[in-house]
Amino acid sequence: MSVVAPQLLLASGVQGGHAPAAGYETLVIGAVIAVMAALTALFAMYLRRRARRPKPVSDQWQALAVMGELCPDGWQAEITLYGWGAPIPDDAPAARVPPVELEWKQFDEEPGRVAVARRLWAPTIAEALETMVADRQTDLTLEQIERAAAEHGEVWRSDSSEG
């Protein structure tokens, strides 16, 4: 037993409460705990906000999947890349780099009938795909609002001449 007792005492050090810590050590330990708690809270807030942001669509496969969900009756897109010095359509926005043109169509329940057709411009293919998906999500939200208003009997008039 005499051999084991010094080893345990050596391993436990001064944790038995026989040697009180100095006052400044207590303050340092308290400050370290407070800083670690604040950093943990900030990190948790960052993770929560990051999880709420919609993830951008950055490649054609992800855009294909998302647009397939948003356009159940079908859709079609065409991407045109313009090189340096290439003739660009008049309606293209001014840009420092050659633009990317994306034309997309959403089809209706009737085969071959186009319900929505859009053309947009972006500096990169990824931004063009992201904008296309965002446009369709906006359209879907507006369609849901219109359906809800129609169900409640509300009429929206775009003609303000009646009064």
Residue whose tokens read 């855009």: 63
Query: Which pLDDT score, from 0 to 100, does residue 58 have?
Result: 62
Which of 77, 92, 90 minimizes the C-alpha distance to 123?
92
Helices (H), 20-116: 23-52, 60-70
Assess contact for 99 and 80: CB atoms under 8 A. Answer: no
Q: Would you write out the chain's pLDDT as a tens digit for each of its 163 residues?
A: 455 444 433 344 455 556 666 677 778 888 899 999 999 999 988 888 776 666 666 677 777 788 878 887 888 888 888 888 888 888 888 878 888 899 988 888 887 788 888 898 988 888 888 888 888 888 888 888 888 888 777 665 555 444 4
Which of 62, 71, 54, 51 minimizes the C-alpha distance to 126?
62
Assess contact for 79 and 60: CB atoms under 8 A. Answer: no
pTM for this model (two decimals) = 0.55
Helix (H) or strand (E) holding 137: helix 125-151
Query: Which pLDDT score, from 0 to 100, does residue 157 have?
Result: 58
Amino acid code (one letter) for 127: E
